[in-house]
Amino acid sequence: MAKQTQDRGTGNLQAVTANRLTDGLVVWLTPAHGWTVDITLAGAFDAAALPAALEAGQASERRREVVDVYATEVRLEDGRPRPARLRERIRAEGPSTPYGAPALSPAAPAFRTVTPAFGSFHAGE
């Protein structure tokens, strides 16, 4: 069963988030109680609207559309919700460091040189 809330911070606004079962992507509940992968389109629910939003998310979980529905604190920046906690910002915006093919390219400085305590490693050696 879904958790009621994960973050019980001092903020008044909460977004409802989950993972979509078809592909595992992080999704956010919109004000119309649909799902979006774009955090800027997520609903920022106050204390009065949060129970209905959580129920909509939990109903979607019962239909096996999403998993792990919970609320997390958000702050409005330029009128758009942004997660207050680092964990949720990473879920919404992606990793805080480069990854994938460009990050693993021999042209990437982090790939070319690693300096452990016992010496250096250079790609191609």
pLDDT per position as a tens digit, 48-107: 999 999 999 999 999 999 999 999 999 999 999 999 999 999 999 887 777 666 655 555
Q: Which position has the higher pLDDT, 7 or 64? A: 64
112 falls within a domain: no
Query: According to the model, what pLDDT value does residue 65 have?
Result: 98
In a domain, 20, yes or no: yes
CB 67 within 8 A of CB 58: no
In a domain, 67, yes or no: yes
Token pair recorded at residue 109:
């400085």
pTM: 0.71
109, part of any domain: no
Task: Say if 19 falls within a structural domain.
Answer: yes
Determine the average pLDDT of the residues in 27-36. 97
Residue 82 lies in domain: 14-94
What is the CB-side half-sphere exposure of residue 111 using CA atoms within 13 A?
13
Residue 100 lies in a domain: no
Indicate whether 116 belongs to any domain: no
Which letter does DSSP use for residue 31 in this model? T
Distance, CA of 104 to CA of 43 (rounded, Å): 36
Residue 5 lies in a domain: no
Report the number of distinct structural domains present in the chain. 1
